[in-house]
Amino acid sequence: MEALVELERVKKHFVIRDGILGRRRRFVHAVDDVSLSIVRGETFGIVGESGSGKTTIARIIPRLVNVTSGSVKFSGIDICRASGRELMLARRRMGIVFQDPASSLNPRVTVAASIQRPLQLAGLPAKEARDRVREVAELVNLGTEVLDKFPHELSGGQQQRASIARAIVLRPEFVILDEPTSALDVSVQAQVLNLLLDLQQRFSLTYLFISHNLPVVRYLCDRIAVMYLGKLVELASTGVLYREPLHPYSLALLMAAPPPDPKMRNRRRFILTGDPPSLTNPPQGCRLHPRCQFAVERCRVEEPELRDYGSGHLAACHRIGDLDLGFAM
Give residues in contact with other proteins (CB under 8 A): 49-50, 155-158, 185-191, 193-194, 197, 212, 214-216, 218-220, 238-239, 252-253, 255-265, 269, 271-276
How near is the Cβ of 246 to other proteins at its closest, in Å? 18
Nearer to other proteins, 48 or 304 (CB): 48
* CB closer to other proteins, 77 vs 193: 193
Minimum distance, C-beta of residue 5 to other proteins, in the bound complex (Å): 21
Contact between residue 192 and residue 180 where contact means Cβ atoms under 8 Å apart? yes
Q: Which is nearer to other proteins, 83 or 187 (CB)?
A: 187
Interatomic CA distance for residues 87 and 84, integer angstroms: 5
Q: Among residues 73 and 289, whose Cβ is nearest to other proteins?
A: 289
Shortest approach of other proteins to residue 41 CB, angstroms? 14
Our CA angle for 180, 186, 190, nearest 5°, is 65
Choice between 119 and 316, CB closer to other proteins:
316
Nearer to other proteins, 45 or 285 (CB): 45
Distance from C-alpha of 22 to C-alpha of 239, rounded to nearest angstrom: 48
Decide whether 74 or 249 has the Cβ nearer to other proteins: 249
Q: How far is the CB of 185 from other proteins (least distance, A)?
A: 4
Q: How far is the CB of 70 from other proteins (least distance, A)?
A: 27
CA angle centred on 28, ends 27 and 33, rounded to 5°:
105
Query: In whole angstroms, how close is the CB of 23 to other proteins at the nearest point?
Result: 22
CB of 212 to other proteins, least distance (A): 6
Nearest to 274 by CA among 246, 293, 255: 293
* Contact criterion met (CB below 8 Å) for 61 and 176: yes
Q: Min. distance of Cβ 322 from other proteins in angstroms?
A: 22
Nearer to other proteins, 71 or 237 (CB): 237
